[in-house]
Amino acid sequence: MGSNLDSSAISSKELMAKTGISRATLNNYISLNLIPAPSVRRPEEPGGPTKIGYFPQWVVERIEKIQEMKVSGMRMAEIAMRFTEKEPGEEEERPREVVLDFTYQSIEQIVFPAILVNSSWEIIWINQSAEKVFFQESVREIPSSANRNILRLFLEKGLLGRFKNWKEILTLHLRLAKRDLSEERVEQICRQVDTCPLDELKELWRGAEALQERPITQQNLVLRPHKGKSSRHTVFSSDFREGTLLLYTPVNMQLDQILNLLMGREKLVKALLSQRIPSLTSLCILAGRLESSLHLRTALPPHEYFDLINQIILASHQCFKNHGGTPGRSIPEGVVCFFLSAPDSPREYLHSAVQCAQALKEIIATLDKRWKYKKVWKNTLQMNMSIHCGEEWLGTIPSSLAFDFTVMGESLIETIKLSEFAEGGSIWVSKKVIENMSPADRQRVEFGVRLGTGKERFISPGIYSQVRELLSPETLQQRGLREISNLAVTEIINVHPPEEQDF
């Protein structure tokens, strides 16, 4: 039997020489299950290594096919999917139990289904394998994050018509979702789908036992499609700050290999966020620019200038976090923050942005006092702020340390321009923000437009004005504000906490 195996095998050294691939590439093909693991034994030639790996002869042709596919532009994940079916003549030579190895894998090379959902259970990353198994279409092309809710997609097009055991599949996910969602929210998602069996879903939700809070959970899953063969999987879920990662692994994969992948959490999260699906999102944007009577870059030594700017940015980011905002890419001597609409409180984000601006104004005033004492100067530090809202594409852009959130569209441009319009530490907000607040939130906000000149200036409360009505045409041109000349705005005078409304 040994001689028959020898006559039909090729050593790893010969294989690499014949195909021109490196040792790392060879190991990568093994880990992706593109070729079998070698049979390790003593070579016949004396004087060489004591052990060497041998592969079946058909592996040469397989590697050549892989190289042709790569040249044609195919990604490794697509190539791996092409070879999931055994080719003629390979059955006897392949081991029955395939063990995947993540040593050389990145997140893009995972060939089994994988999905990352946020706390609202909206898909923010998905690989092609998961799209093919569960949805049979590109989820990445769905523009609205709300429409990418995994439960909604399961109910709308994923499970009911494709799997005999759709209730089992849905229950598994409901057990995980119970840690983030309420029954009311799940019912709300169901009502958005015309074909959703609401009564059955309620029964499944109430019967699904929530999983205990653990860094990593494990559940067994059998997929029984109406057409085709059933397949057995182990579903691992791992909780991150950004959401929950779901891995639908083959049942024969070893647990320690999954743990090795998930334990590299920082690297894994960076890889996932680099491919975060851009979403058309309702959001509110706060932009702030530092104002000073001195030209700080020339008035301060470099180390003090950077110390001041860092203090402002760090204090601002903490303020953003306290009010539920997400810091975006900073602007020169300024900051940007995004406040996102939430399904359970769709208008609260608007008031959160206004509250945050008021709090940030007080923080900058404290920093101003500290630097007055430190430098013994009459200079005044102020943050000119603007708030605007809209529906824009939200995505991530890589930086050297992490991934910065940013948006595409006019809303961001107009917000930054409005911050350039603001002066004297004022907070200006678009009419759209105020009008879209809930009535209770709007009552807590004092706003208006300052009219008149010099000492005769006064605040006319509760009104708005277009930017072009507040500046002369020459000033609009000089300050580069023509883009927002027709934007209706008002100044925030004060924001009252809820208890101050009980007169």
Render pLDDT for 49-100 as a digit per residue (tens, 0 to 9).
556 778 888 889 888 888 888 777 776 766 776 765 444 444 444 433 333 3
Question: What is the rounded distance in angstroms from the CA atom of residue 30 to the CA atom of residue 40?
Answer: 14
- Whole-number Cα distances in Å, 254 to 159, 178, 359: 28, 28, 51
- Looking at the chain, which residues constitute the CATH 3.30.70.1230 domain(s)? 279-501
- In 3D, which of 291, 442, 471 has the Cα closest to residue 364? 291
**CATH code 3.90.180.10 for 279-501:** no
- Looking at the chain, which residues constitute the CATH 1.10.1660.10 domain(s)? 2-82
**CATH code 3.30.450 for 107-274:** yes
Across 190-230, where does the E strand assignment appear?
216-223
Give me 490's structure tokens. 């008002």
Instruction: Give pLDDT, residue 1.
Output: 35
3-class DSSP state for residue 427? strand
Handedness of CA 155, 161, 167, 168 (dihedral sign): negative
Rg of the chain over all Cα atoms, to the nearest angstrom: 30
Strands 427-430 and 381-398 turn out to be parallel
Give me 72's structure tokens. 């044609």
Q: Are 409 and 393 in contact (CB under 8 A)?
A: yes
Instruction: Give pLDDT, residue 214.
Output: 65
Give me 183's structure tokens. 């029954």
With a cut of 50, which residues of the chain have pLDDT below it? 1-6, 85-106, 263-266, 399-403, 500-503
Considering the entire predicted model, what is its pTM? Answer: 0.53
Instruction: Give pLDDT, residue 367.
Output: 94
Question: What is the rounded distance in angstroms from the CA atom of residue 198 to the CA atom of residue 397?
Answer: 40
Question: What is the rounded distance in angstroms from the CA atom of residue 315 to the CA atom of residue 361?
Answer: 11
- In 3D, which of 119, 118, 136 has the Cα closest to residue 128? 136
Region of 462 please: left (phi>0), alpha (psi -120 to 50) or beta.
left
Q: Are 99 and 253 in contact (CB under 8 A)?
A: yes
- In 3D, which of 244, 265, 249 has the Cα closest to residue 178? 244
Give me 316's structure tokens. 């601002």
Q: Are 134 and 158 in contact (CB under 8 A)?
A: yes
Give the CATH number of domain 2-82; options: 1.20.1250.20, 3.40.50.300, 1.10.1660.10, 3.40.50.720.
1.10.1660.10
Instruction: Give pLDDT, residue 368.
Output: 93
- H helical segments located in 179-280: 183-191, 198-207, 255-263, 265-274
Instruction: Give pLDDT, residue 453.
Output: 67
- Looking at the chain, which residues constitute the CATH 3.30.450 domain(s)? 107-274
497-500 own/partner pairs: CB under 8 Å, 24+ apart? 497/444, 498/444, 500/444
Report the greatest alpha carbon distance in the chain: 104
pLDDT tens per residue, range 196-223:
888 988 999 999 888 776 667 888 899 9
Residues whose CB falls within 8 Å of the CB of residue 86, separated by 6 or more in sequence, listed in order: 94
